[in-house]
Every structure is written in structure tokens, then in C-alpha cells.
């Protein structure tokens, strides 16, 4: 009889626990898959904007403001969960050994800068990026085109380039530059080269959902 009472009490307690989870901890009932979308909103004294991005990018850096004599800008970066890669030990004397290191497989950053602090046009910024990255031995310009962001014309370049110290040997990168309301706007993407199709689609969605908050 006692065991039956305990069982009944346990069964009755389960819905109460679920209700507490739902009302006090909404994330228990609203866990997002990688393909669900979230909305990022940035609205501060430098700029206001919003965009949608996939929940695959689970970490966020910012939004932050940097204010100095030379620069005034705000930025936010969304990042995928870090991966672990096994690679040769780069330390002197570590020949033949391997080490496990973390790296971010994909990230997208948005930055809005005060034009008066360092005036350089969107076209000049695009040309500067091409000139800088083209010095790397495996650089390849994959695409260069005009896109529209909330009614404003912007230029986009996409390219492959050598990876750095940690991660794959080649990376897929893209940059979008435009000028609007006395601000320089720069959107940048970095991803594993094998994730280039996914990353390009994610960038397209960000561009299509981007809105100025004015």
C-alpha cells in the first residue's frame, strides 16, 4: 500500500515539475535546433540594426562599442561551437608529437564605424581586402557582386585563402562593404572551406533579413 502511494505521488509530481520547467525555465521547452533562426538586435549610440541568424551560431561576442581618438565603432560577432582538431605539435622539440587544439569553424561579424574618424569608401575597403589577401599563395577570388541590404547597395566578395595556425589548411571567407548614414558598414564571414555552401547560405539570409533601426 505504501509503495502504491509513493508511485501515485511521483506520477502526480511529474506534471508539476514540467510546469515549473516551462514557466521558470523557458529554454527547457524551446530548445532550438541548428536550423532554427534567432534575431540579433543592436541599438546603441553608434548604430542600430537587426538581422536573423541560424542557431548553429551558438556563441555571441558583443555587441560592444570601441571609442578612441582614431576610431568609433560598434560590432557583434556570432560564432559556431568550437571544434577540436588534432595537429602536429608546433613547439620546438615536439617533432613527431600531436596536440589537440580548438578552433571556431564558422563566424559572422557585423561592424558599423563612424566615417568621420577614418574616411575610406566601401569600394576602397573591398579593394584593400583583395590586395591584402591576394598575397597568400592559395588565395582565389570566387565571387564579386553587388547586393542590396535594406535598400542600400553593397559590394560582396567571396574567396578562399590559406588557413592560419589552427584548423583546416584552407578557409572560405566573404566580406560585404557599404556606406550608409555617415557610417561604414562591414560584414565579414569566415568558415571551413568544406562548409562554404552552408556559410554562403547563412550570409545570404543575414543580408536578406538585415534592417536598419532608425
Which tens digit of pLDDT belongs to each residue from 114-128?
988 888 999 999 999
Per-residue pLDDT tens for 45-92?
999 999 999 999 999 999 999 999 889 999 999 999 988 777 676 677
Same-domain status, 121 and 179: yes
Same domain flag for 58 and 139: yes
Type and span of the H or E element at 19: helix 2-24
In total, how many domains does the chain have? 2
Span 87-115, average pLDDT? 83
Q: Largest Cα–Cα distance in the chain?
A: 82
What confidence tier does 107 reach under pLDDT thresholds 50, 70, 90?
A: very high
What's the confidence (pLDDT) of residue 167?
63
**What does the pLDDT average to over 165-173?**
78
CA distance 29 to 7: 25
Q: String of b and e for 169-191 (b: at least 16 CB within 10 Å)?
A: ebbbbbbbbbbbeebbbbbbbbb
Q: pLDDT-based confidence at 209, cuts 50/70/90?
A: very high
Which residue segment(s) compose the domain that 20 sits in?
1-31
> Does residue 159 surpass a pLDDT of 90?
yes
The pLDDT assigned to 26 comes to: 46
**12 plus 73 within the same structural domain:** no
Query: Residue 152's domain is classified under what CATH number?
Result: 3.40.1000.10
pLDDT at 98: 79
Same domain, 21 and 97: no
Whether residue 38 sits in one domain with residue 20: no
User: What value does the mean pLDDT of the chain take?
Assistant: 85
Of all residues in the chain, the percent with pLDDT exceeding 70 is 81
Same domain (yes/no): 187, 149? yes
47/152 Cα distance (integer angstroms): 15
Sign of CA dihedral 63, 38, 36, 147: negative
Are 1 and 68 found together in one domain?
no
Q: What is the pLDDT of residues 1-53, one digit of tens each?
A: 444 433 434 334 434 433 434 344 444 445 778 889 999 999 999 999 999 99
pLDDT value for 160: 96
The predicted pLDDT at position 30 comes to: 57
> Cα separation of 78 and 55, whole Å?
10
139 and 181 housed in the same domain: yes
Q: What pLDDT shows up at residue 34?
A: 87
**Residue of 178, 174, 170 lying closest to 137 (CA atoms):** 170
- Of 3 and 93, the one with more pLDDT: 93
Q: Are residues 13 and 105 both part of a single domain?
A: no
Do 7 and 48 belong to one domain? no
Q: Are residues 167 and 195 in the same domain?
A: yes
Indicate whether 152 and 208 sit together in one domain. Answer: yes
CA nearest neighbour of 104 among 127, 85, 79: 79
CB-neighbour burial class of residue 47 (10 A; exposed 0-12, middle 13-18, buried 19+) = buried
Amino acid at each position: 500500500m505504501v509503495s502504491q502511494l509513493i508511485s501515485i505521488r511521483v506520477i502526480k509530481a511529474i506534471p508539476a515539475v514540467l510546469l515549473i520547467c516551462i514557466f521558470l525555465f523557458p529554454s527547457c521547452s524551446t530548445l532550438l535546433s541548428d536550423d532554427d533562426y534567432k534575431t540579433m538586435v543592436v541599438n546603441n549610440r553608434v548604430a542600430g540594426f537587426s538581422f536573423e541568424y541560424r542557431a548553429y551560431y551558438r556563441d555571441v561576442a558583443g555587441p560592444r562599442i570601441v571609442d578612441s581618438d582614431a576610431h568609433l565603432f560598434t560590432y557583434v560577432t556570432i560564432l559556431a561551437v568550437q571544434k577540436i582538431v588534432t595537429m602536429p605539435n608546433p613547439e620546438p622539440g615536439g617533432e613527431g608529437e600531436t596536440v589537440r587544439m580548438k578552433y571556431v569553424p564558422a563566424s559572422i561579424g557585423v561592424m558599423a564605424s563612424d566615417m568621420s574618424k577614418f574616411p575610406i569608401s566601401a569600394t576602397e575597403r573591398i579593394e584593400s581586402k583583395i590586395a591584402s589577401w591576394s598575397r597568400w599563395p592559395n588565395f582565389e577570388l570566387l565571387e564579386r557582386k553587388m547586393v542590396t541590404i535594406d535598400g542600400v547597395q553593397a559590394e560582396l566578395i567571396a574567396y578562399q585563402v590559406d588557413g592560419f595556425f589552427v584548423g583546416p589548411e584552407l578557409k572560405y571567407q566573404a566580406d560585404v562593404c557599404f556606406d550608409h548614414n555617415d557610417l561604414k558598414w562591414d560584414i565579414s564571414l569566415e568558415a571551413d572551406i568544406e562548409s562554404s555552401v552552408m556559410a554562403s547560405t547563412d550570409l545570404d539570409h543575414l543580408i536578406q533579413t538585415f534592417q536598419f533601426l532608425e
